[in-house]
């Protein structure tokens, strides 16, 4: 293992990682923490061990932006296997036959999939980290407790069938663009239920997370040193939703870092605002106070 650099020397930013199969999101964070020696490392948007694709890793002050990153849309390509269900709604559990899907056509799949767009009620999988009466659902499921998470509203911006292999082991490959909290395992389960044949999730790839795409992602095995990670870091604001940007001079930046409101020109429109210093570095997120005509910091980055 390469020597750990001094923690204070590592940079703030976002690393677009292409997570491999079998790894947990937490293990990716741990590997990068050991490699870089950074004080703070986190991720935005958990991927299950079987899933692959874009996993944003946040370093140092960028970890404070995770709550904003979760608001970005995500795009997935998923293989939905029909004719069977599993306890976990994916390929990690034993298959239980429901009905022969041989009768299904591509048109049947497209018609059913169209119902999974817009704001929909979705029940999270029994084996998920969602809390039920203060306990993780997967812990309840493992103990034999039949209690399931309550349905909740999620948003699917678009869903499209990319390919369909008919027959007794039918598989539909779909692309789904959705908001935070959407479970592709639940879509697979519910699509199978809608078609009266059962369904579970097989291969899952997150191909995009906001502006981050899998084509630009880097595999962990390609990163051998802290400098290699640093060279691939993106600016922290890449994971922020659209916000108006204001520029601070040196004096204003110092005041904002102390949590003080400042007047900036031109005056930003009402709404969320991000403030950058004279060198373009993100200093803080906040809002405008129209009465005092100031930028008010809410979350300050060092």
CA atoms within 13 A on the CB side of 283: 28
Taking the alpha carbons of 168, 173, 177, 180 in that order, is the dihedral positive or negative? positive
Q: In what order do the strands lie in the sheet with 272-276?
A: 244-247, 272-276, 282-289, 294-300
Distance CA(133)–CA(121), nearest Å, equals 20
Q: Is 247 left (phi over 0), alpha (psi -120 to 50) or beta?
A: beta
Give the other-Cβ count within 10 Å of 204's Cβ.
23
Instruction: Note the Cα 213 to chain centre separation in Å.
Output: 12
Angle at which helix 184-194 crosses helix 106-113, to 10 degrees, equals 120
* Catalytic residue list: 48
Residues 191/116, Cβ–Cβ less than 8 Å: yes
Q: What's the CA gap between 80 and 164, in Å, rounded?
A: 10
Q: What is the DSSP letter of 19?
A: E
């Amino acid at each position: 293992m390469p020597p750990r650099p001094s923690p204070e020397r590592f940079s703030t930013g976002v690393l677009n990682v292409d997570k491999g199969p079998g790894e947990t999101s937490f293990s990716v964070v741990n590997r990068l923490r050991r490699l870089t020696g950074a004080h703070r490392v986190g991720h935005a948007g958990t991927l299950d061990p079987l899933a692959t694709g874009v996993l944003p890793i946040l370093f140092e002050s960028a970890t404070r932006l995770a709550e904003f990153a979760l608001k970005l849309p995500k795009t997935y390509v998923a293989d939905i296997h029909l004719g069977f269900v599993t306890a976990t709604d994916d390929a990690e559990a034993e298959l239980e036959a429901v009905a022969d899907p041989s009768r299904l056509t591509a048109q049947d799949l497209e018609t059913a999939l169209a119902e999974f767009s817009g704001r929909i009620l979705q029940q999270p999988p029994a084996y998920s980290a969602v809390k039920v009466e203060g306990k993780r659902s997967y812990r309840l499921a493992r103990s034999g407790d039949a209690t399931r998470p309550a349905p909740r509203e999620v948003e699917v911006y678009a869903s499209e069938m990319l390919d369909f292999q008919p027959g007794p082991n039918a598989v539909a490959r779909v692309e789904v663009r959705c908001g935070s909290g959407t479970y592709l395992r639940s879509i697979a389960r519910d699509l199978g239920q809608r078609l009266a044949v059962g369904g579970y999730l097989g291969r899952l790839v997150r191909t995009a997370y906001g502006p981050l795409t899998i084509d630009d992602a880097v595999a962990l095995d390609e990163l051998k040193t802290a400098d290699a990670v640093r060279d691939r870091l993106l600016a922290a604001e890449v994971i922020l939703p659209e916000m108006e940007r204001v520029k601070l001079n040196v004096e204003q930046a110092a005041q904002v870092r102390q949590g003080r409101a400042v007047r900036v020109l031109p005056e930003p429109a009402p709404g969320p605002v991000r403030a950058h210093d004279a060198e373009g570095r993100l200093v803080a997120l906040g809002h405008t106070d129209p009465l005092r005509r100031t930028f008010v910091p809410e979350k300050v980055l060092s």
